[in-house]
Every structure is written in structure tokens, then in C-alpha cells.
């Protein structure tokens, strides 16, 4: 009997039948069992979770997803690859949401370390993490949230010479940057690679989200030409500050756009510019 058949036999044997909140029977397997099997067969947790779903067994952690997402949907998310550029306010929230949803492969790019001024909003930050690289903390935190998610931490600043390489093989990229010049570089690289980019930005109680498909870049029209960093004026986030509530809301919108694209669900906000104001509970859309 080959190793894969042994694993499948073990998975089926140790699965349980439970009744979900809708009253339907579901075959599940718990984290503790999957991690033990991963150790037994010298496989990664990612491999074991994927194999369970291939065998028709739902990891117990995803049981409450099942009313909205099928097991096939969950498997598709597990096999997806997303790059998050920036692991601060927007990026940190997005990383946590993506990990909880079960996106299996996250490449997190940031060159910065946490400081005390990040503690007001950045979900991955903590007093103990001050001074630590954000991407390494992202990897550590995700493992405590969902061991089936593989995080590739990249301690680099994006530029014209490395961004395309960083995006190679990704299904899409989340823009969680904090300056216009880098956003323009990212937009151009995503377009050349041929993947969607989900732009997000915030300042004070205001935020914005836009899905930018390859070859349909619009950020220069929104922000003007800030290709020379020295000429870029201070961004609104420098003037109005950045708040946890706004970062959480914009990251949620960005994550939802990811799910729409990966699962071919709903109506992605292609060529739409969404502006949100939380203070006055306003959402406005503009066609780009």
C-alpha cells in the first residue's frame, strides 16, 4: 500500500460525523488529529489539510464556513496564492482574515520592524513584538491561527528591479502600502505578470478600495504621477493619522474582493473606486 493510500485510510478512519448548525451531517476531522497525522507521515500541515478535503473530509475549523462555502470552495482557497505587500495596518488585518478563511499560501513582503506607534492599529503588532520584523511576526501569528496556511516572509522593499519576481506565481496581490510611488510600481508589476491587484488606502476615518485588473491601471489617474519619490507630497495618512477601525474595514473589503476573484462569486468591483467614510457611515462608488 503506497503512502498516499495509507494517509487517506487514516484520515477516513479518524474522521467523525457531526451535525452542523443547519442540522445536516458533515464528516469532519479536528486540528489535533490532522497535526498528529502530519507528524506521523512527515508531511506538512498544509498537505494534510488539503488531502483531507480531497478525501471529502471537512477540517473541523471550517465547519461554520460550510453554509456559504462548499468543500470544493474551501479546497480552492487552500490552493490559492496571494501576495500581500505591506504588513502594517491594512496588511496585518488582511493577513489574519485570509488565514482564517483558509487561503493556503501567503507571501508577505515588508522590510519594516514594529515600533510602539504601530500598536494603535496594526493587528500583528504587540508590545512583545516591538523591534521584530513584521513579516516574521506575520508568519508566527498565522501559525497560531491556522497551521494549514503557509507563509513566505520576504524582508524586502519593493522596487522596479524585484517586484515582478516577488509576484511570480501569485493568483493576485493585495496593495497594503502607505505611499503612492510604491503603489505605482506594484500596479505596473502586477499588470506585467497578469494578475489582479486589490488596492486599499486609508487616512483617519476615510478609506478606499479598488480592484485593478491587468492592463487597466488607474492609480496614476487617481493620484497623479508620483514616480519620483522625492517629489511626492505627504500622504493624507500622514496628516489625518491611521486608525484601527478604518484599517479593519478596508482590509475586510480587500479580503472580500480576493474571495470574489478566487471563487468566481458575486460581482468584483472591477474599475470601481469605492470610498468609505466611517464617521458618517457613507459608501460611495465611482467608475474609473
**pLDDT of the chain, 288 residues: tens digit per residue:** 589 999 999 999 999 999 988 888 999 999 999 999 999 999 999 999 999 999 999 999 999 999 999 999 999 999 999 999 999 999 999 999 999 999 999 999 999 999 999 999 999 999 999 999 999 999 999 999 999 999 999 999 999 999 999 999 999 999 999 999 999 999 999 999 999 999 999 999 999 999 999 988 778 777 776 555 555 566 666 665 789 999 999 999 999 999 999 999 988 877 788 999 999 999 999 887
- Cite the residue boundaries of each domain of the chain with CATH code 3.40.50.720: 80-287
Coil vs helix vs strand at 22: coil
Residue 1: what pLDDT?
58
**Whole-angstrom distance, CA of residue 158 vs CA of residue 68:** 36
Query: What are the DSSP calls for 172-215, one per residue?
Result: EEEE--SSHHHHHHHHHHHHHHT--EEEEEEEBTEEEEEEE-TT
Residue 243: what pLDDT?
92
- The alpha carbon of 120 is separated from its chain's Cα centroid by a whole number of angstroms, namely 21
201 neighbors 207 (Cβ within 8 angstroms):
yes
pTM of structure: 0.93
**Whole-angstrom distance, CA of residue 120 vs CA of residue 69:** 33
**Whole-angstrom distance, CA of residue 74 vs CA of residue 28:** 13
Pick among 3.30.590.10, 3.30.230.10, 3.40.1390.10, 3.40.50.720: CATH of 80-287:
3.40.50.720
Residue 236: what pLDDT?
65
b/e sequence 225-248, b meaning 16+ C-beta within 10 Å: ebeeeeebeeeebeeeebbeebbb
27 neighbors 56 (Cβ within 8 angstroms):
yes
Instruction: Please give the helix or strand (H or E) that residue 275 lies within, else none.
Output: strand 272-277
Query: β-pairing, 58-59 with 25-29?
Result: parallel
What are the residues whose beta carbons fall under 8 Å from the beta carbon of 60, sequence distance 6 or more?
A: 18, 28, 29, 30, 31
**Whole-angstrom distance, CA of residue 35 vs CA of residue 148:** 9
Query: What are the DSSP calls for 82-128, one per residue?
Result: EEEE--SHHHHHHHHHHHHHT--EEEEE---B--GGGTTT-TT--GG
Amino acid at each position: 500500500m503506497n503512502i498516499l493510500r495509507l494517509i487517506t485510510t487514516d484520515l477516513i478512519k479518524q474522521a467523525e460525523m457531526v451535525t452542523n448548525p443547519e442540522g445536516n451531517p458533515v464528516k469532519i476531522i479536528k486540528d489535533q488529529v490532522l497535526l498528529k497525522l502530519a507528524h506521523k507521515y512527515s508531511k506538512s500541515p498544509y498537505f494534510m489539510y488539503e488531502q483531507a478535503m480531497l478525501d471529502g473530509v471537512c477540517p473541523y475549523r471550517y465547519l461554520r464556513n460550510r453554509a456559504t462555502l462548499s468543500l470544493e470552495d474551501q479546497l480552492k482557497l487552500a490552493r490559492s496564492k496571494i501576495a500581500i505587500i505591506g504588513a502594517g495596518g491594512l496588511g496585518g488585518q488582511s493577513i489574519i482574515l485570509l488565514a482564517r478563511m483558509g487561503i493556503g499560501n501567503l507571501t508577505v513582503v515588508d522590510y519594516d520592524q514594529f515600533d510602539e506607534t504601530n500598536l494603535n492599529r496594526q493587528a500583528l503588532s504587540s508590545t512583545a513584538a516591538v523591534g521584530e520584523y513584521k513579516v516574521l511576526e506575520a508568519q508566527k501569528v498565522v501559525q497560531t491561527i491556522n497551521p494549514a496556511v503557509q507563509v513566505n516572509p520576504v524582508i524586502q522593499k519593493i522596487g522596479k528591479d524585484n517586484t515582478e519576481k516577488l509576484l511570480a506565481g501569485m493568483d493576485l496581490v493585495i496593495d497594503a502600502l502607505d505611499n503612492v510611488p510604491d503603489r505605482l510600481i506594484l500596479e505596473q508589476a502586477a499588470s506585467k505578470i497578469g494578475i489582479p491587484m486589490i488596492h486599499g488606502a486609508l487616512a483617519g476615518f476615510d478609506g478606499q478600495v479598488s480592484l485593478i485588473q491587468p492592463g487597466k491601471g488607474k492609480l496614476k489617474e487617481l493620484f497623479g504621477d508620483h514616480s519620483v519619490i522625492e517629489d511626492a507630497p505627504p500622504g493624507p495618512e500622514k496628516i489625518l493619522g491611521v486608525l484601527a477601525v478604518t484599517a479593519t474595514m478596508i482590509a475586510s473589503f480587500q479580503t472580500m474582493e480576493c474571495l470574489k476573484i478566487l471563487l468566481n462569486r458575486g460581482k468584483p468591483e472591477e474599475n470601481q473606486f469605492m470610498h468609505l467614510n466611517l464617521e458618517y457611515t457613507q459608501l460611495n462608488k465611482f467608475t474609473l
